[in-house]
Chain A
Amino acid sequence: MLGDKVTLSQALIVTVFSMGIVFLALLIISYIIDGFRFIFYKDNKKVDKEQKKDIKPEKSVPKETINEEDDEELIAVITAAIAASISRPASEIKVRNIRRIPTKTPIWARAGRLKQMN
C-alpha cells in the first residue's frame, strides 16, 4: 500500500490507523468473550435445572427398567458403585443408560498393562 519512502505525516497516519485497528479488534474480541460468559452461565443454570429434573423422577420411580437381561449383573455393579460414591441408597437411583467411553489408549498399551496386572 505504501512504498519505501514514508514521510513523517504518513507515518503518523499509519500509527493512528494501526493502533485504532489493534484496539478495535481486541475490543471486539473482548465483547465476544463477554458473550461467551453469558452463554456459559446460561448453560450452567440449564445444567442445574436438568439435574434437578433428573433427581425427582429418580425418587418416585425407583425400579430399574432395562431390557438387556445379560447385562443385569453389570448394571447392578455400576448402580452400587454410583450409590457408594454419592453415598445414597441404591434404591434412590435409576440407571437409564450406560455408555462405554471410547478408550484413547492404543490397544498395544492396554495389552501391555493387562499383562503387567496379571
Chain B
Amino acid sequence: MFLDILQQFWTSTGFSALTIKEVIMLVIASTLLYLAIKKGYEPYLLIPIAFGMLLTNLPLGGLMAEPVKELVKDPVTGKMVYKTKEVGGLLYYLYQGTKLGIYPPIIFLCVGAMTDFGPLIANPRSLLLGAAAQFGIFFTFIGAIFLGFTGPEAASIGIIGGADGPTALYLTTRLAPHLLGAIAVAAYSYMALVPIIQPPIMRALTTEKERKVKMQQLRPVSKKEKIIFPIVVATFSILLLPSSAPLLGMLMFGNLIRESGVVERLSNTAQNALSNIITIFLGLTVGATAKAESFLDITTIKIIVLGLIAFSIGTAAGVIFGKIMYKVSGGKVNPLIGAAGVSAVPMAARVVQKVGQKENPANFLLMHAMGPNVAGVIGSAIAAGVLLMFFGG
C-alpha cells in the first residue's frame, strides 16, 4: 500500500518524466542565464528567454500546453458545442502575443520612443550604410536555401543578419514559427557578441589611414524636422511596402510621440513601463518555444552557424560600403561607421566609437555611427517587409 503510494507519487513528479534531451536543454538554459547574469550579455533579453527555456523543458509543468476542447452535446439545447476540457498553460496564452505578431511591433514602438533620429537627419547619406548592411540577410538567405531550408525558413534565418531582435522575431512568427526558439537564441546571442564579432572584421577591411579619418561635426537638427521625419518616413515606406506597416508604423509612431514633445507621459510609458512589460512577455514566451524535441536538432546548429555568417557579412558589407563612401566623399567619411549599419542599437555604434578612438584618440565617431545604426533598423524592417511580401503567402 505505502509502496504503491510512493510509486504513484514518483510517477507524478517531473523527475520521473525527465528525458536526457530535456536535461541538456536545462543545461543550455542555465548556461545562457550564467552568460546573461555573470557576463552581462544582453541580460534584459537573455534572462527572460533562458528562463522561458528552463520552464518549458521541465516536464509535466504544462506551461506551454494548448487548451484541449471536446465536442459535447449541450444538455439544454441539444446542439453539439465545444467545451474546454483543459484550459492550457500560462505561457501558451502569453505566447499568443508573440505568435500573432503583436509584441514585436509594440517593442518597435518602444524602440521608436527611445531613438533619436537626429544624427540620421543631419547626415541622410548614412541611410545607405544601413541599406548596405542588409546584404548579410540575403547572402544568408541564399546560403540557407542551398542547405535545403524552405523559402520561408531561409528568409527567417537570413533576417538574423539584420541584427534586429523584434524584426527577426516578427518575421519568424509569420514565416517559420517552428524555428522561433533557435532563431531568437541565435539573434540575441550575436547581438550580445557585437563587441567581439565586429572589431576584427572592421580592422581586416580597413587601412589604418581610413580608420583615423576624423569626421566633421553634424549640423544641428530642428525640432520641426524631427517631428516631420517619422510622419513622412512612415507614409512613404508603408505606401511603398505595405507589408512593412506593422514594424515601421509602430517604430515611427513611437518616435513621433517622443519628438512631438506634447505627450510626455505616453513617451515615458513607451520608453520604460511598456517596453519592460513587453520584454518580459516576449522573452519568456520566445524562450518557451525552445522545447527539447524541436531545439536539439541539427537544424538549430545550422541556424546558429548561418546566423553568425549573416551577422559577419552584414558588418563587412557595411564597412565596404563605408569605404566606397570614403572614396566618393574624398576622404571625409570614416568607413568604420558602416559597421553600425547592422542594427544592434546602440551597441554597434559604440563598437565603432571604440575601434575609431583606439586609432585616433581625438576621434568621436559615436554620433556619426548612430546614423547608420538607426538606418539599419529602418533597413531591416524594410527587408523584412520585402521578404514577407515574397513568402507571406
Identify the A interface with B (CB < 8 A).
1-8, 10-12, 14-15, 17-19, 21-23, 25-34, 36-37, 40, 43, 104
Contact = CB atoms under 8 A, between A and B. Distances in A.
Contacts of A28: 236
A27 B132 CA distance: 11
Contact of B391 (A2, A21, A22): A2
Nearest to A17: B386
A82 to B, nearest CB: 23
A8 B241 contact: no
Interface stretch (B53-61, B121-129, B290-298): B121-129
Given A5-B150, A22-B379, A26-B127, A43 B138 contact: no
Interface string B148-163: 0011101000000000
Contact of A11 (B127, B131, B141): B141
Contact of B237 (A10, A11, A25): A25
B121 A11 contact: no
B383 interface: yes
A26 B130 contact: yes
A8 B232 contact: no
Q: Which of B138, B152, B237, B389 has the most CB of A within 10 A?
A: B138
Contacts of A7: 145
Contacts of A14: 138, 141, 387, 390
Interface in B136-189: 138-139, 141-142, 145-146, 150-152, 154
B371 to A, nearest CB: 10
A12 B142 contact: yes
Interface string B216-253: 00010110110011001100110011000000000000
B382 interface: yes
Interface residues of B, number: 46
Contacts, number: 111
Nearest to B383: A22
Interface in B335-393: 375, 378-379, 382-383, 386-387, 389-392
Contacts of A37: 124, 219, 225
B285 interface: no
A1 B391 CA distance: 6
Contacts of A30: 124-125, 127-128
Top 4 A-B residue pairs of the complex, sorted by shortest distance between their CB atoms: A6-B151, A30-B124, A33-B124, A15-B138
B150 to A, nearest CB: 4
A1 B388 CA distance: 9
A99 to B, nearest CB: 16
A17 B240 CA distance: 14
A6 B150 contact: yes
SS class of chain B's interface: helix, strand, loop or mixed? Answer: helix
Contact of A4 (B127, B150, B240, B262): B150
B51 interface: no
Contacts of B124: 29-31, 33-34, 37
Given A19-B131, A26-B130, 20 more contacts: A1-B390, A5-B151, A6-B145, A6-B150, A8-B145, A11-B141, A11-B151, A14-B138, A14-B390, A21-B382, A22-B379, A22-B383, A26-B375, A26-B379, A27-B131, A28-B236, A29-B378, A33-B121, A33-B229, A40-B221
B264 interface: yes
A3 B225 CA distance: 42
Contacts of B142: 8, 11-12, 15
Given A15-B141, A15-B142, A3 B151 contact: yes
Nearest to B392: A1
B135 interface: yes
A32 B237 CA distance: 12
B134 interface: yes
B225 A104 contact: no
B181 to A, nearest CB: 20
Given A19-B135, A25-B382, A2 B125 contact: no
